[in-house]
């Protein structure tokens, strides 16, 4: 009981838990857990329910989330799958994720879908427990980034440096979107080359669907 109370001290609002996702959020069969809350205000937000009032969403502790998702443990073990944390921004909750990881079978894959726009200390905490980072970089051009997200990308650049210095580039998939009315294919290629200079090699190029919030 004492151990459970320790793990339950950090709670978070979860906007959704999606099971049986196959090779979309990491290897194998995964369960996507989406946190409420995000530091960005992207014009074409893919999960606008993660913003604003979170009172309608269920609050989980690491223990209660583990109790819910472990129903699919056999799928995780058989396919080298696990849990992918998204949002919103999962890296706002490093203590939650670390405590959740401590409850899991060590062979579960723990993945993050993140913008990296969080304090570097959060990424430092998470690198030791995360297998794959799926990074939605938005744009490397700071002016385009601020215009689209409402925020600076200084923290993103700091965290890219941290990941590169840790030698974790091959554990990252970097999504480089074409953002209608904000960047161009030329901008996207410049972003890609800048990321290659950091040593990143795994990229996912796609186009955002126009969906204003």
For residue 196, what is the DSSP state?
H
The model's pLDDT over 161-213, given as tens digits with 9 standing for 90+, comes to 999 999 999 999 999 999 999 999 999 999 999 999 999 999 999 998 765 44
Question: What totals of helices (H) and strands (E) does the chain contain, helices first?
Answer: 8, 8
CA dihedral over 128, 86, 50, 54, signed as positive or negative: negative
**Closest by CA position to 61, among listed 3, 144, 117:** 3
Convert the pLDDT of each residue in 9-34 to its tens digit.
689 999 999 999 997 888 899 999 99
Domains of the chain: 2-207 (3.20.20.70)
Summarize the confidence of residues 146-162 as an average pLDDT: 98
- Residue 128 is given by DSSP the state T
pLDDT band at 7 (very low <50, low <70, confident <90, very high): very low
Q: How much is the pLDDT for 211?
A: 54
Helices (H), 28-184: 62-69, 73-79, 94-103, 120-127, 142-149, 154-165
What is the dihedral sign for C-alpha 149, 150, 154, 158? negative
pLDDT for 27: 87
- Over 50: is that where the pLDDT of 87 sits? yes
The mean pLDDT value for 44-61 works out to: 93
pLDDT at 210: 66
Residue owning tokens 């849990």? 83
Residues with Cβ < 8 Å from 207, sequence gap 6 or more?
177, 178, 180
Q: Is the pLDDT confidence value at 92 over 80?
A: yes
The owner of tokens 């969906």 is 211
- What's the pLDDT band for 139 if we cut at 50, 70, 90? very high
Distance CA 192, CA 176 (A): 7
């Amino acid at each position: 009981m004492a151990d459970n109370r320790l793990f339950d001290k950090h709670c978070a609002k979860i906007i959704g838990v999606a099971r049986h996702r196959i090779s979309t959020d990491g290897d194998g069969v995964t369960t996507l857990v989406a946190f409420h809350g995000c530091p960005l205000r992207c014009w074409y937000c893919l999960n606008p329910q993660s913003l604003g009032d979170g009172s309608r969403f269920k609050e989980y502790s690491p223990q209660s989330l583990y109790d819910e998702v472990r129903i699919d443990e056999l799928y995780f073990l058989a396919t080298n799958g696990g849990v992918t944390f998204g949002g919103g921004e999962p890296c706002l909750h490093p203590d939650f994720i670390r405590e959740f990881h401590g409850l899991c079978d060590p062979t579960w894959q723990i993945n993050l879908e993140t913008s990296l726009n969080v304090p570097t200390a959060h990424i430092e905490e998470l690198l030791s427990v995360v297998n794959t980072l799926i990074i939605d970089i938005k744009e490397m051009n700071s002016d385009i980034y601020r215009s689209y997200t409402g925020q600076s990308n200084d923290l993103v650049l700091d965290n890219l440096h941290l990941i590169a210095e840790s030698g974790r580039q091959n554990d990252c998939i970097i999504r480089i979107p074409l953002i209608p009315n904000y960047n161009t294919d030329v901008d996207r290629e410049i972003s890609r080359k800048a990321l290659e200079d950091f040593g990143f090699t795994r990229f996912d190029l796609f186009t955002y669907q126009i969906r204003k919030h």
